[in-house]
Structure 1
Amino acid sequence: MNESAKREPFELYTAEDGTALLRIKEWEERFPWLSAGFSTRLGGVSAEPWSSLNCGLHVGDLDGDVAENRRRVAAAAGFAFDRWTCAEQVHGRDVAVVTAVDAGAGRLSRSDAIEAKDALVTIEPGVMLNAFYADCVPIWLVDPERRAVGIAHAGWRGAVADVAGEAVRTMTRAFGTKPSDVLAAIGPSIRGCCYEVDEAVARHIPEGSDSIEPAAVPGRYMLDLAKFNRQMLTKAGVLANHIEISVYCTSCRTDLFFSHRKEQGRTGRMTAWIARKE
């Protein structure tokens, strides 16, 4: 089946205040204790070039506007803002096991965010795990047997370092998760249609991977990190039929998403969240 013909796992939802979010509807219907989704760029208070639902504190936007945007996302997701919990992302593979004590880390300031982590996992109810994106790949993980959840941030460096697989392995060590029980979703990101890379990046992708192909220009390649992360998840033991993948490309859809590459670095950040409800 052509990927463009596949069912899109994310459904657009707009709250009463105009905050536009994508929800993993099937998961939320199957598991009433779960909340999982992704913000768009629509429905916030930030001015250009971060208009309007920028959730990143590190892009030059006003801190007060970012805080208000985050509050709107938390409210639309059904959580108090003091449960918003995030890390300082460094394009690595390290994973934090988040406890109730960590709840609220980083919600208003980068200074008290969880330090240098690109994936967060928890089994605690009421802790809203958040991470930030503007082309990199968001990855949601849920173990429905143990009600453990996780979120990962995978740019090309994190992807080749296997942050997705490390998040699954951390859930196994921390919570007893069986990889075959894990459900995964790969969200909107820059796709192979738009992500051109050079040989220095391409050489990290295993030969024969269907996630990369030559570009029109010699020595350049088109890389699909969503496909690559799907391969890393299956390598970690997640069943192929347990992995959902969005067809949205952030670079193609700057009407809906921020794109660091398309907008030449002057843009905002979406947030992905996952949480067990209390």
Structure 2
Amino acid sequence: MEPFVLKQADNGCGLLELEPFARAYPQLAAGFTTRIGGVSGAPFDSLNCGLHVPDDPKDVIANRRKLAEALAFSFESCTYAEQVHGKEIQVVTSRERGAGNDSRDTALQAKDGFVTNERGVLLHALFADCVPLYFYDPIRQAVGLAHAGWKGTALQIARSLLETMSAAYGTKARDVRAAIGPSIGVCCYEVDETVIRRMDRVIAELGPAVPGEEGQIPYYHPQPDGKYKLNLQQVNRQIMCKAGILPSHIEISGLCTSCRTDLFYSHRKEGGRTGRMVAWIGLRESQ
């Protein structure tokens, strides 16, 4: 069953709620935006939340404010970073709360993962095909969010984030609930041999994939033209499992951002001229 469920907020934002988390943990806010319900014009129509694309910044900030309103968080709690396809993780405290919400200059610099245990801090990461990774430790009340393209996946950013949560909060991987959000699927993600060589080094370390409900899913499929269809979600799932997260504690979306440009922005499908979705996670101040 698809864990990310489409809902329309009162202000018109089309949002995908991470429903298993919402049902089990009412104090937790977690989900993924669509392209629906904002103010941006084409080709960024309409809920573009990326300041680094050539959209009108006033529209982007208006969209970010609409998102905060829809989630019942203050705009001042919304925290963003400048992502660089790396594996660096930021521990976010009240000092960093609100970084980058209305300016790239004030964003957390060169970070692709974020963790916090402070209530009222809403972590955000931007996507247009890459894989959003969500982490929640219900024992120590800590959350994490990571941006994993193929480079971040090859660098095992999921493992780095868990190590940061362990060092900062005492998190144990077996307690963590995780999710892998909407992203470009193996159906559409074609890569060349250079990428596969990088990925093969990771796969060799990971070993055979831990079977899921549908059995053991291959990491990639060779194509007749010498290219490969890469399953980034499956590689990230295996990284999580090898780091100690229980397979039964990992939710995986089946939504492909490239197949569903009615719902999502897709950098690859739309030739790079498109907007960005937001993944968010945070603990509400009162529940």
Matches within 5 A, 1:96-175: 96-175=90-169
CA distance in 2, matches of 1:17, 1:33: 22
Give the TM-score taking structure 1 as reference length. 0.96
Structure 2 gaps, min length 5: 210-217
Letter matched to residue 43 of structure 2 = P
Structure 1 equivalent of residue 261 of structure 2 = 254
How far residue 176 of structure 1 moved from its aligned partner, in angstroms, is 0.3
Could you say what secondary structure the match of 2:105 adopts?
A: helix
Structure 1 equivalent of residue 281 of structure 2 = 274
How far residue 216 of structure 1 moved from its aligned partner, in angstroms, is 2.8
Q: Structure 1 stretches (4+) deviating beyond 4 angstroms? A: none
Could you say what secondary structure the match of 1:99 adopts?
A: coil
Structure 1 equivalent of residue 233 of structure 2 = 226
Q: Please, what is the CA RMSD of the aligned residues?
A: 0.9
- Post-superposition CA distance 1:79-101 (Å, at most 9, x none): 01111101110000000000011
Residue 220 of structure 2: which of 204, 212, 219 is its match?
Answer: 212
- Number of aligned residue pairs: 271
Residue 91 of structure 1: which of 85, 91, 110 is its match?
Answer: 85
Identity of aligned residues (%): 54
CA distance in 1, matches of 2:259, 2:219: 18
Aligned: 1:240 with 2:247:
yes
- Post-superposition CA distance 1:100-138 (Å, at most 9, x none): 111100000000101110000000000000000000000
Letter matched to residue 17 of structure 2 = R
Give the TM-score taking structure 2 as reference length. 0.93
How far residue 26 of structure 1 moved from its aligned partner, in angstroms, is 1.8
Letter matched to residue 235 of structure 1 = K
- Post-superposition CA distance 1:12-50 (Å, at most 9, x none): 110122100000122112112110010000000000110
Residue 18 of structure 1: which of 5, 12, 22 is its match?
Answer: 12
Letter matched to residue 230 of structure 1 = R
Letter matched to residue 100 of structure 1 = S
CA distance in 1, matches of 2:128, 2:224: 25
Letter matched to residue 241 of structure 1 = S
CA distance in 1, matches of 2:171, 2:163: 8
Letter matched to residue 276 of structure 2 = R
- Post-superposition CA distance 1:49-94 (Å, at most 9, x none): 1000000000110110000100111111110111110111000000
CA distance in 2, matches of 1:168, 1:27: 18
CA distance in 2, matches of 1:258, 1:127: 26
